[in-house]
Amino acid sequence: MLPRSNRLNLKTGFKWVSSGQKKQTNYFKLFYRFGENQKPLVGIALAKSSFKNAVERNRGRRLSSHVIEEFYQALRNNLNLVMMPKANILESSTEQLKKDLENVKEIFSTIN
């Protein structure tokens, strides 16, 4: 899990970011907006309609968090990002999720 200083504030940040640009991949809906922050801020939101019980929601959140931690250093400095995993994330491997996220060039300053 990312440290609190690298996460978006739920009350103020999520709504502001979700009104920005949107990108969909096979496993994620990504909402992003560029701000005046010095480092990237990331939030993960899950829909109860996609993940029926708490075990599924927790697993989806853990998988998303694991993938974004590996890419955090390559994210743009002024990026505010909200990740919404889709239900099919539960049947995928972390390698598939990494490849899926690598295709979104808009959020990365460089890709390793």
Angle at 39 between CA 38 and CA 44, to 5 degrees: 135
In this predicted structure, what is the pLDDT of residue 84? 95
76: left (phi over 0), alpha (psi -120 to 50) or beta: beta
Instruction: State pLDDT tens for residues 8-44.
Output: 988 889 999 999 999 999 999 999 999 999 999 999 9
Instruction: State pLDDT tens for residues 64-87.
Output: 999 999 999 999 999 999 999 999
Number of domain units in the chain: 1
On whether residue 55 sits in a domain, the answer given is: yes
Q: How far is 29 from 4, CA to CA, in rounded Å?
A: 22
On whether residue 45 sits in a domain, the answer given is: yes
Show the domain range for 60: 24-107
**Residue 111 predicted with pLDDT over 90:** no
Q: Are strands 79-85 and 21-24 parallel, antiparallel or unpaired?
A: unpaired
On whether residue 74 sits in a domain, the answer given is: yes
